[in-house]
Amino acid sequence: MNILTNDDLDIIEQFNPSVVWCPSQFLSMGISDKVKCWIPELYKRGVNVTLGSDSARNSSIGDEALTAHLVAMNTSQRLSQRKF
């Protein structure tokens, strides 16, 4: 769920699926300066957002929570690491 539109947010909120987000993958795709990260917004709308990792060699235990926190800060949508 790295590339979403405003319409996608409403659909996700309506059907309320759980969303798995891999923030390290989002950064490694090189799109963070071109595509808005909507995950903090989904979380604030009450969508169950879980953290995943693309593979063991991309990150270690705990890296995804820190990466998610940093991505959220970069989009001016602060999320505490404690919420992850």
pLDDT: is 27 or 50 the higher one? Answer: 50
pLDDT in the model for residue 1: 66
Q: What is the pLDDT of residues 13-28, one digit of tens each?
A: 999 999 988 877 777 7
Hey, which bits of the chain come out as E strands? 19-21, 49-51
| Residue 81 pLDDT > 60 | no
pTM of the model: 0.62
The DSSP output letter for 33 is T
Contact present, 51 and 18 (Cβ < 8 Å):
no
pLDDT: is 19 or 59 the higher one? Answer: 19
Region 54-77: mean pLDDT is 68
CA distance 7 to 21: 19
Q: What is the pLDDT of residues 30-39, one digit of tens each?
A: 777 788 888 8
CA distance 80 to 70: 10
Domain segments of the chain as ranges: 6-83
